[in-house]
């Protein structure tokens, strides 16, 4: 039995989503990028990637797949073929290598996490030392939108880690707060000061923020905070 025959719900979710968030190492550096699934046939995924840096053939990539029913997977795949079509569009052939994680979340658990994160926003204020805001109101709204698909990526022992964020990021002009209760085991590998990437997928585009992680312990619970250093927008609808 091939990989997708054993995971029929996964293939349905991948086709429903179309654009997934992915994490990989490119030239030794962590990157997060959007991957558009163009075809799935047996154990072969044809896809487009967006960004100035591609994923070399032979490297592995992690794919975040979140279904509308809150069944969440992180899939590891090998890049069998990679070619650059334009300055920021790449073509890939991927071979699934296994499941990094599979989790079914309850809507009420996600709702509770949303409430905690929104409340926690009050305990963090924008850094007055910042020369200018890193995110305007439209970008902040996209990261905070519940209907969007989101994830964080970081590096552990020189390997990428990708963690879906099914609730929300609560954004200010220079930071993102997210809950850690639903994925505490995965996120416990993060240390204060670690580099971290946060991505959000919306129709027609993807925003990826990079920054530094800080853990927040408060009476409200445990949270992660990303002090944003830059934000990149990638258009996935024009190719």
Q: Look up the CATH number of the domain holding residue 18.
A: 2.30.110.10
Segment 40-68 shows an average pLDDT of 90
Q: Is the pLDDT of residue 230 over 60?
A: yes
pLDDT on residue 219:
83
pLDDT on residue 220:
81
Choose the final residue of a domain: 104, 134, 162: 104
Phi/psi-derived region of residue 70, left when phi > 0, alpha when psi is between -120 and 50, beta in every other case = left
Three-state secondary structure of 17-74: HCEEEEEEEECCEEEEEEEEEEEEECCEEEEEEECCCCCCCCCEEEEEEECCCCEEEE
Band of residue 126 on the pLDDT scale cut at 50, 70, 90? low
Q: Are residues 100 and 121 in the same domain?
A: no
- Residue 91: inside a domain: yes
Band of residue 21 on the pLDDT scale cut at 50, 70, 90? very high
Q: Are residues 118 and 220 in the same domain?
A: yes
Band of residue 101 on the pLDDT scale cut at 50, 70, 90? confident
Q: Are residues 81 and 132 in the same domain?
A: no
- Residue 3: inside a domain: no
Share of the chain above pLDDT 70, in %: 92
Give how many domains the chain has, as a whole number. Answer: 2
Three-point CA angle 61, 113, 205, nearest 5°: 45
Q: Are residues 95 and 135 in the same domain?
A: no
Band of residue 217 on the pLDDT scale cut at 50, 70, 90? confident
Choose the final residue of a domain: 104, 120, 135: 104
Choose the final residue of a domain: 104, 136, 166: 104
pLDDT on residue 238:
45
Q: Are residues 19 and 86 in the same domain?
A: yes
Q: Are residues 115 and 220 in the same domain?
A: yes
Q: Is the pLDDT of residue 239 over 60?
A: no
Q: Are residues 114 and 214 in the same domain?
A: yes
pLDDT on residue 136:
85
Q: Are residues 54 and 98 in the same domain?
A: yes
pLDDT on residue 146:
87
Q: Are residues 116 and 172 in the same domain?
A: yes
pLDDT on residue 125:
63
226: domain range?
107-235
Q: Are residues 53 and 164 in the same domain?
A: no
Contacts of 231 (CB under 8 A, 6+ apart): 134, 135, 139, 207, 208, 209, 210
Q: Are residues 112 and 209 in the same domain?
A: yes
Average pLDDT of the chain to the nearest whole number: 88
- Residue 1: inside a domain: no
Q: Are residues 120 and 66 in the same domain?
A: no
pTM (2 d.p.):
0.91
Contacts of 217 (CB under 8 A, 6+ apart): none
pLDDT on residue 77:
94
């Amino acid at each position: 039995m091939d990989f997708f025959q054993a995971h029929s719900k996964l293939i349905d979710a991948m086709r429903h989503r179309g654009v997934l968030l992915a994490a990989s190492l490119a030239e030794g550096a962590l990157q997060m990028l959007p991957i558009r699934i163009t075809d799935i046939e047996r154990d072969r995924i044809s896809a487009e990637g967006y960004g100035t840096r591609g994923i070399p053939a032979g490297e592995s990539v992690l794919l975040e797949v979140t279904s509308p029913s809150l069944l969440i997977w992180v899939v590891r795949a090998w890049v069998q073929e990679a070619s650059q079509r334009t300055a920021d569009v790449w073509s890939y052939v991927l071979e699934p290598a296994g499941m990094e994680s599979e989790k079914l979340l309850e809507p009420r658990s996600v709702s509770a996490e949303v409430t905690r994160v929104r409340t926690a926003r009050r305990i963090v204020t924008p850094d007055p030392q910042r020369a200018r805001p890193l995110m305007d109101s439209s970008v902040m709204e996209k990261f905070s939108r519940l209907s969007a698909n989101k994830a964080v990526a970081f590096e552990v022992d020189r390997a990428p880690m990708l963690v879906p964020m099914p609730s929300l990021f609560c954004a200010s002009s220079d930071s993102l707060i997210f809950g850690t209760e639903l994925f505490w085991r995965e996120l416990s590998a993060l240390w204060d000061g670690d580099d971290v990437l946060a991505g959000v997928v919306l129709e027609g585009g993807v925003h990826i923020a990079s920054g530094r992680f800080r853990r927040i312990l408060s009476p409200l619970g445990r949270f992660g905070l990303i002090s944003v250093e830059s934000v990149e927008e990638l258009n996935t609808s024009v190719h």
